[in-house]
Amino acid sequence: MKKPYIIFCLFVAISFGTSCVDAKIDDTEVKLVTAEEMQSILELEDVQLVDVRTPLEHDEIRIANSQNIDYMSPTFDEDINKLDKNKPVILYCKSGGRSAKCAKKLKDAGFKKIYDLQGGISKWKHSDKIKIEVKS
């Protein structure tokens, strides 16, 4: 009778003691958003809207009020560290590849709230949900 009780107590003690060891608290999640969701976030929150494409791509077509931080730039890591880690960030690129990589870097750098425009600007450039600026 005592043996199962002792084993149970040891199991609980070991489980409790090791469950918190090396546990990293990280509740940051990168959320993929549609253009409509992005527009709602822009209206409701003080957000940093970041285009991670090249300056040439950004000049040709961009979402209104976005800032350009080129993912391919040698100064990219320095540039993202100028952003406010406590303010939400919405990222976008052409199709979603660069912004996904950038989102991981932001998460690793300690940013609290990260959104990534699903499918990039290519998917939404003809949408009436977001304001697109095109070079004429």
Q: Residue 19 falls within a domain, yes or no?
A: no
The larger pLDDT score, comparing residue 88 to residue 124, is at 88
Does position 24 have pLDDT exceeding 60, yes or no? no
Q: Residue 94 falls within a domain, yes or no?
A: yes
State how far the Cα of 60 lies from the Cα of 18, in Å rounded to an integer: 54
- Per the structure, the complete domain to which residue 72 belongs is given by 25-134
CATH number for position 129:
3.40.250.10
- Residue 130's contacts (CB-CB under 8 Å, 6 or more residues apart) are 35, 38, 39, 63, 64, 124
3-state secondary structure of 38: helix
State how far the Cα of 33 lies from the Cα of 67, in Å rounded to an integer: 18
Question: In the block, which residue shows the tokens 């870097």?
Answer: 105
Q: What pLDDT, on a 0 to 100 scale, did the predictor assign at position 29? A: 87
Q: Residue 86 falls within a domain, yes or no?
A: yes
Q: What pLDDT, on a 0 to 100 scale, did the predictor assign at position 41? A: 94
DSSP state string for 66-87:
-EE--TTSTTHHHHHTTS-TTS
Q: What pLDDT, on a 0 to 100 scale, did the predictor assign at position 54? A: 97
Give percent of the chain above pLDDT 70: 79
Q: Residue 87 falls within a domain, yes or no?
A: yes
What count of residues does the chain have? 136
Structural domain count, the chain: 1
Q: Residue 39 falls within a domain, yes or no?
A: yes
Q: Residue 29 falls within a domain, yes or no?
A: yes
What is the rounded (10 degree) CA torsion for 37, 125, 88, 41? -30
State how far the Cα of 87 lies from the Cα of 82, in Å rounded to an integer: 12
pTM, rounded to two decimals: 0.78
Out of 65-74, 106-115, 122-131, least confident range: 122-131
Does position 99 have pLDDT exceeding 70, yes or no? yes
For 12-22, how does the pLDDT look when each residue is reduced to its tens digit (9 = 90+)? 555 555 444 44
Q: Residue 12 falls within a domain, yes or no?
A: no
Task: Tell me the sheet residues that pair with 132.
Answer: 63
Name the catalytic one among 9, 20, 93, 102. 93
Report whether 88 contacts 47 (CB < 8 A). yes
Q: What pLDDT, on a 0 to 100 scale, did the predictor assign at position 23? A: 41
Report whether 106 contacts 77 (CB < 8 A). no
Q: Residue 80 falls within a domain, yes or no?
A: yes
Q: Is 93 a catalytic residue?
A: yes
